[in-house]
Amino acid sequence: MEVIVGKMAGFCPGVRNAVDRTKEKLEEENSQVFCLGELVHNKQVVEELENLNMKTVEDIAEVPNGKKVIFRAHGITKEIYEECKNRNIEYTDLTCVKVLAIHENIAKVNPKNLIVLIGDKNHPETIGSKSFGEDRIIVMQTLEDIPEIKESFKNFENIEVFCQTTFSVEKFNEFIDELKKVDNNLIVNNTICHATRIRQEETENLSKEVEYMVIVGGKNSSNTKKLADISRKNCSKIIHIETVDELDISDFKEISKVGIMAGASTPQKSIEDVVKILENI
């Protein structure tokens, strides 16, 4: 059986930086370090770091005054930066540089413009980015959000668009076409990460060439779930797993060509474990 692994499978630069710097921080401190939210959306990676004395918390209130905290790769809200300053909490900001750039640019938008942030309303990256737009930003997750945008736009001169870095390229383009009908002078910032775009394109092509697609990565990972969605459109057999233990080998006995793609937070070992077991069938 031929096993083809996507070239873009696995850690993106932002995740690699967050994981490596967290390991360095844990070694340097030689004591427990708090992390606000999951550092990255991969259970295996988080568990490895927690075994090295990282403690994941969901609320900054759980971090005692004067302690040290790491900010996850997806970023945090503007208010949390302010609270850390007020409570003398030392932080290491491991927010992806591309997400930080979105925060900075949203904050600079002309006050006369309405900001539309395309993304998942419940995703930590979107929640963080939204906070920098104050009261003139709307998150657009589906086309059903268009009426709210139309109504709000009456009080502004233009609409300026940003996007969650891991959003679907296909949906982004669809949304932009609809937003241009609301504002024909739409200002578009395509902030989908370059690595995300390439990974989605490679998944699109690979899923058309193989009989079975295996997507490896966190079930709570936005970018990984989108790879699975893309694969389902082109391949009749597809499975999204976090670890090799979820594979049923009997499913592959009559398959001659398998494609493997992994999300941006998937460690290399998880990919290698899948490759090894499939090549031995």
Our measurement of the distance from residue 180's CA atom to the centroid of its chain's CA atoms, rounded to an integer in Å, reads: 26
Of the listed 47, 48, 104, 125, which one is catalytic? 125
Distance CA 107, CA 62 (A): 28
CB atoms within 10 A of CB 231: 25
Closest CA to 266 of 21, 46, 10, 6: 10
Three-class secondary structure of residue 253 per DSSP: coil
Distance CA 46, CA 62 (A): 18
Question: Following CA atoms 176, 180, 181, 184 in sequence, which dihedral angle do they give, to the nearest 10 degrees?
Answer: 180
DSSP string, 173-226: HHHHHHHHHH-TT-EE---S-HHHHHHHHHHHHHHHH-SEEEEES-TT-HHHHH
Closest CA to 171 of 233, 226, 98: 226
Say if CB 71 and CB 36 are below 8 A apart.
Answer: yes
3-state secondary structure 225-248: HHHHHHHHHHCCCEEEECCHHHCC
> Any catalytic annotation for residue 204?
no
Closest CA to 42 of 71, 10, 70, 65: 10
**φ, ψ at 238 (rounded to 5°):** -155, 140
Q: Which residues are catalytic, by number?
A: 125
